[in-house]
Amino acid sequence: MKDVVLIAGDGIGSEITDSVTKILDKAGAEINWVERSAGLGAHEESGNPIPADTIEAIDEHRVVLKGPLTTPVGSGFRSVNVALRQKFELFSNIRPARTLPNIDSPFKNVDMVIFRENTQGLYIGKEQWIDDDTKTHAEGIAVVTEEASKKIITAAFEYALANDRKKVTLVHKANILKLTSGLFLDIGREVAKNYPDVEFEDLIVDNMAMQMVMRPERFDIVVTTNLFGDILSDLASGLVGGLGVTGAANIGDDAAMFEAVHGSAPDIAGQNKANPLALLFSSVMLLEHINQKQIAENIRKAIYKTLVEKKVYCTPDIGGEGTTSTFTQAVCDNI
């Protein structure tokens, strides 16, 4: 039995985490949920959007399943999600995007996994006003290091080997950003030499964006820096139906957090309308991470079968006529 910290989150978080835990229980997942809080609800209750007991639980158990969080205004955090990733050094953000049955999209046969470096680049938040009086000139600093670049690129190649993937595409802007993006590209070329059985290519980010909406089926594993990865991973989700149907993982050397990356949708909270697919796919990634792979595959097959029947069971945002409850029950029945 694996202890996993469960953070329901805000808005629709409690509804979709309830759905996911019911499905995992039905599938026989060997997980003991350690429930903790974070986000706006935690801030309103305790004055802290990341309470100490939540940090302590993650420190102890090292694996988290997290629903959507709302960062409280004026709490001192740029983002609760970013704070958790930085606190536990979750350097690898992994975002699969796969074509799903019966989900409306003009794109077919998409099956890519984006690896985004999660700790550096422009997202370190080093910004300053050059003129404090007029505030007409601002600067931001991007940091790229050899160590962090090697870790994320190696993780992408190792994933390719472990999952019988054939190609890694490194995305950069080294033609303009010759030091930061140039370093990332240089490290990528060096790491690729250690994986002769995996095809390697590099693409400039603007060309990559164009290619993704012209021929997305040509991409397999994609690895890139923080800002580019943030943008391209959302684009990839859009190719297969949006953020509501794609999971995400944040992996470090000794800790992992699996999450729904969509918003907390307070406008539909408590109405039994929330689509749990994103968090459910994230939980499938969690099961694979803790070596319960057959259970993960059983759930994935049940999801696909339910999507084929979606008009009856699925939520309206993905073309169905059902509710959170009917979707949950259908997946459970299909396991």
In order, the DSSP letters of 17-75 are HHHHHHHHHHHT--EEEEEE--SHHHHHHHS-SS-HHHHHHHHHH-EEEE----PPTTS
Active-site annotation holds for 304: no
Task: Give the distance, in angstroms, between the CA of residue 237 and the centroid of all CA atoms in the same chain.
Answer: 10
Q: Residue 8 in 3-state DSSP? A: coil
Catalytic one among 10, 66, 159, 230?
230
Q: Is 95 helix (H, G, I), strand (E, B) or coil?
A: strand
Is residue 164 annotated as a catalytic residue, yes or no? no
Q: Could you tell me if 75 and 269 are in contact, meaning their C-beta atoms sit under 8 angstroms apart? A: no
Single out the catalytic residue among 123, 159, 202, 310: 123
123 is catalytic: yes
Residues 6 or more apart whose CB falls under 8 angstroms from that of 71 comprise 39, 40, 49, 77, 78, 79, 80, 81
Q: What is the dihedral of CA 222, 228, 233, 238, to 10 degrees?
A: -120
For residues 172 and 116, what is the distance between their CA atoms, to the nearest angstrom? Answer: 12
Angstrom distance (rounded) from CA 289 to CA 68: 21
Phi, psi of 10 (to 5 degrees): -110, 170
Catalytic residue at 230?
yes
* Residue carrying the six token digits 């409280």: 72
Beta strands 221-224 and 111-117, pairing class:
parallel
Give dist(CA 186, CA 168) in Å, integer. 15
Buried-state track 143-180, b at ≥16 Cβ within 10 A, e below 16? ebeeebbebbbbbbbebbeeeebeebbbbbbbeebeeb
Among the listed residues 26, 66, 151, 173, the single catalytic one is 173
Q: How far apart are CA 324 and CA 265, in angstroms?
A: 14
Catalytic residue among 206, 253, 267, 333: 206
Catalytic positions, written as ranges: 123, 173, 206, 230
